[in-house]
């Protein structure tokens, strides 16, 4: 038995074809393996509830269109997810916290058919620890200016592709510097995103008694060559209903240092506070940071 469940999307199996994830399954000529030519999504199941599946399927389809890659319709993915989770529950255990990945590659070279699968596995232990205790982050330049996405759509900056070698190299570099994660900046000095996350910044106004009277939540501009975050979008909608003021950049590094709180948000790690940025503590009031984090975490937990 393996702790990862694997289900291939297959026209001959409408609900998906279950395979053994501990055995070789991918052809060595698959363009996803040889060239990173494909797209993916990662989402979280908590207490049996699949979070934001429609948003992830929409982004998967959007990424595939940017790559001119034909992928199955949403319903086929949904059926495969159900099959994967049923199999996971049968083989591994309760669906308390499960990471689900949807992957589509251009397929075997010359075959003209995509390779698509769903996997279900337990999250890395670091995800929960970082979510609960926060992380130290460093700023790294990505090497592009913030308008490159519009000038060079072939760079696919708005698509979630399998070409993650640069992102993983950035994380290894951060670990070598004693940090947990990275926030990328553009060559013209704008804040972009993390290798696997979206940046959120908060400012709060307080009265003489220290009570919060206004709250503003800001994220980088979506047209700055970043991946639109499904978690950021869902949290913004919930925060707006709760009375938060919202904004979309532009953000510069100084805005992060001046913020009352900064988070990296993603579908698996969820809302993760940034404790230190380039060695400098974020937020002058730790209690305020904890209060803002707790409030947003409650809103985020309610997201479908």
**228-250 pLDDT, tens per residue?**
999 999 999 999 999 999 999 89
Tell me the CB-side half-sphere exposure of residue 293, using CA atoms within 13 A: 24
Reply yes or no: is the peptide bond before residue 250 cis, omega within 30 of 0. Answer: yes
What's the pLDDT at 274?
97
Could you state, in order of their start, the residue ranges of all structural domains in the chain? 5-123, 128-301
At 71 the three-state DSSP class reads coil
Higher pLDDT, 102 or 294: 102
pLDDT at position 52 over 50: yes
Contact 44, 98 (CB under 8 A): yes
Whole-number percent of the chain with pLDDT over 70: 99
Structure tokens that stand for 79 in this block? 């059926």
- Work out the angle at residue 214's Cα, subtended by the Cα atoms of residues 226 and 277, and round it to the nearest 5 degrees: 45
What's the pLDDT at 254?
97
pTM of the predicted protein model: 0.92
Residues in the chain: 304
Higher pLDDT, 199 or 2: 199
In the structure, what pLDDT confidence band is assigned to residue 207 with cuts at 50, 70 and 90? confident
Total Cβ atoms within 10 A of residue 47 = 8
What's the pLDDT at 205?
86
CATH code assigned to 5-123 = 3.30.470.10
Distance CA 159, CA 63 (A): 4
pLDDT at position 304 over 80: no
Q: What mean pLDDT value characterizes the chain? A: 93
What's the pLDDT at 252?
96
pLDDT at position 209 over 80: no
CATH classification number, 128-301, choose in 3.40.50.2000, 3.20.80.10, 3.20.10.10, 3.90.105.10: 3.20.10.10
Where residue 73 falls (left for φ over 0; alpha for ψ -120 to 50; beta otherwise) is beta
Contact 254, 203 (CB under 8 A): no
pLDDT at position 2 over 70: no
pLDDT at position 212 over 70: yes
């Amino acid at each position: 038995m393996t702790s990862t469940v694997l289900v291939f999307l297959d026209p001959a199996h409408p609900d998906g074809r279950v395979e053994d994830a501990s055995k070789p399954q991918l052809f060595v000529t698959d363009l996803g393996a040889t060239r990173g030519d494909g797209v993916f999504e990662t989402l979280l199941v908590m207490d049996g509830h699949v979070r934001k599946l429609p948003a992830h399927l929409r982004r998967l389809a959007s990424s595939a269109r940017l790559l001119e890659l034909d992928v199955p319709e949403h319903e086929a993915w949904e059926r495969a997810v159900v099959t994967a989770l049923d199999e996971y529950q049968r083989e591994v255990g309760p669906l308390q916290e499960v990471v689900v990945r949807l992957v589509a590659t251009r397929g075997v070279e010359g075959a003209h058919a995509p390779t698509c699968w769903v996997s279900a596995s337990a999250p890395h232990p670091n995800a929960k620890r970082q979510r609960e205790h926060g992380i130290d982050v460093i700023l790294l330049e990505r090497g592009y200016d913030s308008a490159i996405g519009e000038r060079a759509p072939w760079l696919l900056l708005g698509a979630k592709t399998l070409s993650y070698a640069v992102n993983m190299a950035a994380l290894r570099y951060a670990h070598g510097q004693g940090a947990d994660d990275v926030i990328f900046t553009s060559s013209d000095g704008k804040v972009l995103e993390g290798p696997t996350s979206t940046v959120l910044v908060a400012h709060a106004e307080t009265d003489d008694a220290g009570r919060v009277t206004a709250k503003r939540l800001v994220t980088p501009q979506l047209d700055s060559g970043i991946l639109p975050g499904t978690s950021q979008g869902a949290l913004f909608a919930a925060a707006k209903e709760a009375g938060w003021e919202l904004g979309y950049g532009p953000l510069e590094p100084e805005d992060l240092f001046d913020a009352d709180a900064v988070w990296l948000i993603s579908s698996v790690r969820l809302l993760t506070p940034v404790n230190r940025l380039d060695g400098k503590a974020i937020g002058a009031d730790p209690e305020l940071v904890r209060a803002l984090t707790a409030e947003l975490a409650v809103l985020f937990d309610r997201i479908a």
